[in-house]
Amino acid sequence: IRRLHDSVVNRIAAGEVIQRPVSAVKELVENSIDARSTAINVAVKDGGLKLIQVSDDGHGIRYEDLPILCERHTTSKLSTFEDLQSIKSMGFRGEALASMTYVAHVTVTTITNGQLHGYRVSYKDGAMEHEPKACAAVKGTQIMVENLFYNMVARRKTLQNSADDYSKIVDLLSRFAIHHIGLSFSCRKHGAARADVHTVSRLDAIKSVYGVSVAHNLLKVEAQDDDPSSSIFEMNGFISNSSYSAKKTTMVLFINDRLVECTALKRAMEVVYAATLPKASKPFIYMAITLPPEHVDVNVHPTKKEVSLLSQEVIIGKIQSLVESKLRNSNEARTFKSQKVPVQKMVRTDSLDPAGRLHAYLTAIRSSIRQRRNPKETADLSSIQELLDEIDHSGLLDIVRHCTYVGMADDVCALLQHNTNLYLANVVNLSKELMYQQVLRRFAHFNGIKLSDPAPLPELITLALKEEDKIAELNTNLLKQKAELLDEYFCVHVDEDGNLCWLPVILDQYTPDMDRLPEFVLCLGNDVDWEDEKNCLQGISAALGNFYAMHPPLLPNPSGDGLQFYKREIDHELMAEAQIAWSQREWSIQHVLFPSLRLFLKPPVSMAANGTFVQVASLEKLYKIFERC
């Protein structure tokens, strides 16, 4: 073991703080903002590798401070650890400038208020290379960073080969510009005259930076909470509406005026968009959140990029529900293009009919999701409201909201972690209840799944009964009579010839298992009480809930005991199909079901007793066992 030389230690640390040219720009601009500048100009050569120059009109740096300006851990913003709790400046670690001098040549020109001339001095490895030289200077500070990573060959090579950092730098300044509307920013390539300048309003700033199409599709959001027992925060911002379309999420987030990232919040936003908008575009989001400074831990990441917040989950939850209701309310005005369903979402069936599977005519069924033709005004049937009110959600709510999905334990149960407890949760029950509740909430407002081949009801019912029967005809006639109600309220469309043509979208990005269609149709005919309004709506909703629930696929699971089934049949195609069905279900459970459960499910009290949730272990108890070993 050898002790590393200080210069090696410092260079390694520097490489962490300054990862790319854009990280240097961020640090320099933050210093300028901390220095109370009103105009900040950036010039860049060769993506920042040759030159980064940041000029500001801030308070400048005193002559006496110049010798230690670029030493590690020298700062004017913090003196005791406790100061961190109330810090308002962006910098405080005193590492940025020092880091830059270990991986580049840094030259500082600065003048403080009331001085006749300024000073210029160059730095290397944390120290001045010569005494500061007097020079002419305009108000503020100018910092030049030249030949970044000149002594880190590999880093320089990768950066030279990678895409130009210039666009990243422009993007960074755009974000600053949106937030700091009282400040002017410009950024140009060295020698060129292009610049991004701030404008009067934030919306104008967004327009000039991200384009008119973004600015036209924004909704204003505001939220606050002032309850010390849950959370204290204020948030305002702009979020994209359903007409906005993009492949990537843009999230511009400021917490206490600090440009940061918060992965949990970003995820939460993406989930709301995916769950609320049928088109599920990635959103554009600008948010400024203000919290008491002592509620933010900015010191979780060396570049202060990620932060953690006190009562983060509460805050994210509040913002999430606000955004959700905003999106829902704005949905009426949406323009919506029909979308192609990805191949893996096509409904596949099998003609061999091994386990009572669908008749050959359904083989070709493909679903395509499109908007319902004429979205109705909210139907204010009081019985729907009553049914919604009857959901007596319980203490399980907290588990559902805050659980972590671990994986599937078997075909029907998922393993969940909540605090220090492990639970087995019945996915079929959970999804059934979720679908039921969603049917009530979307009542009369469904988007539709169109069956590419209309499915004749009599044949579906016969399939479900597994024999010819008079019931098929009776039920078909019954459902034909009820076609208007089914279509208007549930988007279950039966045409005049008794063919099923449309089904509702209950959870976006989710199509039910069409193998269960016959059972559903039979259930509509047999189990629904068509006489009483409330019972009728409840019955149809429950039938839909059961149909859309994430049952195990009818084909046995080829990666479990079910494998024997395929050995006997020696059918590779069938096995491949089963593999797809099972893995697709598992994917849906993790990526569609659980995120939606967290957002929408109100778990009824009965779920605590009926085996839907079973606590299997608590970590405290497990630790006790391990301690004995």
Residues that bind ligand ADP (CB under 6 A): 27, 31-32, 35, 56, 58-61, 69, 74-77, 91-98, 141
SS3 of the chain: helix, strand, coil, percent, to 5? 45, 20, 35
**Least distance (Å) from ligand ADP to the CB of residue 4?**
22
Phi, psi of 500, rounded to the nearest 5 degrees? -85, 125
Cβ atoms of 21 and 169 within 8 Å: the answer is yes
Q: What is the rounded CA–CA span in Å between residue 289 and residue 253?
A: 8
Q: Which token pair is 356?
A: 């009572």
Phi, psi of 141, rounded to the nearest 5 degrees? -135, 145
Q: Between residues 75 and 509, which has the closer beta carbon with respect to ligand ADP?
A: 75
Cβ atoms of 32 and 142 within 8 Å: the answer is no
Q: Between residues 56 and 508, which has the closer beta carbon with respect to ligand ADP?
A: 56
**How would DSSP label each residue in 329-378?**
HHGGG------PPPGGGS----SS-TTS---GGGTT--EEEE--SSPPPP
**Least distance (Å) from Mg ion to the CB of residue 92?**
8
Residue nearest to ligand ADP (CB): 91
**356 — alpha (psi -120 to 50), left (phi > 0) or beta?**
left
Count of CB atoms situated within 10 Å of the CB of 131: 10
**Least distance (Å) from ligand ADP to the CB of residue 297?**
16
61 binds, among Mg ion, ligand ADP, none (CB under 5 to 8 A by kind): ligand ADP
Residue nearest to Mg ion (CB): 91
How many residues bind Mg ion, per CB under 5 A? Answer: 3
Q: Between residues 302 and 375, which has the closer beta carbon with respect to ligand ADP?
A: 302
**Least distance (Å) from Mg ion to the CB of residue 244?**
35
**Least distance (Å) from Mg ion to the CB of residue 31?**
4
**How many C-alpha atoms does 336 have within 13 Å on its Cβ side?**
22
Which of 21, 48, 60, 91: binder of Mg ion (CB under 5 A)? 91
**Least distance (Å) from Mg ion to the CB of residue 60?**
15
**Least distance (Å) from Mg ion to the CB of residue 93?**
7
Pairing of strands 499-504, 448-456: antiparallel
588 binds, among ligand ADP, Mg ion, none (CB under 5 to 8 A by kind): none
92 binds, among Mg ion, ligand ADP, none (CB under 5 to 8 A by kind): ligand ADP
Q: Between residues 32 and 588, which has the closer beta carbon with respect to ligand ADP?
A: 32
Q: Between residues 31 and 588, which has the closer beta carbon with respect to ligand ADP?
A: 31
**Least distance (Å) from ligand ADP to the CB of residue 166?**
22
- Using DSSP, state whether 151 is helix, strand or coil: coil
Query: Which residue pairs, CB below 8 angstroms and at least 24 apart, start in 265-269?
Result: 265/316, 265/319, 268/316, 268/319, 268/320, 269/239, 269/319, 269/320, 269/323
Q: Between residues 94 and 556, which has the closer beta carbon with respect to ligand ADP?
A: 94
**Least distance (Å) from ligand ADP to the CB of residue 338?**
52
Is residue 54 part of the contact set for Mg ion (CB under 5 A)? no
32 binds, among ligand ADP, Mg ion, none (CB under 5 to 8 A by kind): ligand ADP
Q: Between residues 102 and 423, which has the closer beta carbon with respect to ligand ADP?
A: 102
Q: What is the CA radius of gyration of the chain?
A: 31
93 binds, among Mg ion, ligand ADP, none (CB under 5 to 8 A by kind): ligand ADP
**Least distance (Å) from Mg ion to the CB of residue 91?**
3
35 binds, among Mg ion, ligand ADP, none (CB under 5 to 8 A by kind): ligand ADP
* AA letter at 145: V
Q: Sign (positive/negative) of CA torsion 509, 513, 518, 520?
A: negative
Q: Between residues 65 and 453, which has the closer beta carbon with respect to ligand ADP?
A: 65
Q: What is the rounded CA–CA span in Å between residue 399 and residue 416?
A: 9
**Least distance (Å) from Mg ion to the CB of residue 33?**
9
Q: What is the rounded CA–CA span in Å between residue 3 and residue 451?
A: 71
Q: Between residues 68 and 408, which has the closer beta carbon with respect to ligand ADP?
A: 68
Is residue 40 part of the contact set for Mg ion (CB under 5 A)? no
Q: Which of residues 20-39 bind Mg ion (CB under 5 A)?
A: 31
Q: Between residues 18 and 589, which has the closer beta carbon with respect to Mg ion?
A: 18
Is residue 96 part of the contact set for Mg ion (CB under 5 A)? yes
396 binds, among Mg ion, ligand ADP, none (CB under 5 to 8 A by kind): none
**How would DSSP label each residue in 203-240?**
HHHHHHHH-HHHHHTEEEEEEEEEETTTEEEEEEEEEE
Residues that bind Mg ion (CB under 5 A): 31, 91, 96
